[in-house]
Amino acid sequence: MTDKVLTRITVNGVLHERWVEPRQHLVDYLRDELGLKGTRSGCEHGVCGACTVRIDGDIVRGCLTLAVQADGARVETIEGVSDSGEIADLQHAFLESNALQCGFCTPGMLLTADALLKSEPAASREQIREHMSGNYCRCTGYHAIVDAVESTRETRRLAGCGGDRHE
């Protein structure tokens, strides 16, 4: 019964059908099976947030989700949202504020920040800090990350695309 399970997951808009070991978590599935290396494995016990991806629109910890659990789901990774341009404004703001150094936490940081800006388009600096507090960055002092999220909040507000909550 520990056999591989046929799993169909739509990743970044492409349906992938793979036999996967039940024990394989979503990060290893994305990285090892699909070659999507942008999702980083930082702790594998659900603390650091580097492996944040979206399942059916919600951010999740990739290391606390089995690939087989995502069967039938829609998964988006940093590669997907980069290719589509969905978070280009946020990525730009991260560069402009120098909100990253080594970049290892950045994909998870970006997806986490984007989720906040979509659910709370008027998030305060304090709310941003709270929301981002599940994502660990060892290089920056978080200050620039908060700056970047704030500036994107303003750009989006001006552009009138506050967005809907992810339900």
Nearest to 43 by CA among 58, 20, 25, 57: 25
Q: Mapped to the 3 state alphabet, what secondary structure does the chain carry?
A: CCCCEEEEEEECCEEEEEEECCCCEHHHHHHHHCCCCCCCCCCCCCCCCCCEEEECCEEEEHHHCEHHHHCCCEEECHHHHHHHCCCHHHHHHHHHHCCCCCCCCHHHHHHHHHHHHHHCCCCCHHHHHHHHHHCCCCCCCCHHHHHHHHHHHHHHHHHCCCCCCCC
Helices 88-97, 106-119: crossing angle, 10 deg rounding: 120
Closest CB to other proteins among residues 39, 151: 39
Closest CB to other proteins among residues 82, 155: 82
From residue 46 to residue 85, what is the string marking binding to other proteins with x (rule CB under 8 A)?
Answer: xxxxx-x-----xxxx-xxxx-xx-------xxx--x---
Site for other proteins contains 143 (CB under 8 A)? yes
Site for other proteins contains 135 (CB under 8 A)? yes
Closest CB to other proteins among residues 23, 157: 23
Neighbours of 67 (CB within 10 A): 26
Site for other proteins contains 106 (CB under 8 A)? yes
Closest CB 132 distance from other proteins, rounded Å? 4
Closest CB to other proteins among residues 135, 151: 135
Site for other proteins contains 105 (CB under 8 A)? yes
Closest CB 130 distance from other proteins, rounded Å? 5
Contact positions with other proteins (CB under 8 A) in 22-41: 22-25, 28, 31, 36-41
Site for other proteins contains 14 (CB under 8 A)? no
Closest CB to other proteins among residues 20, 160: 20
Closest CB 131 distance from other proteins, rounded Å? 6
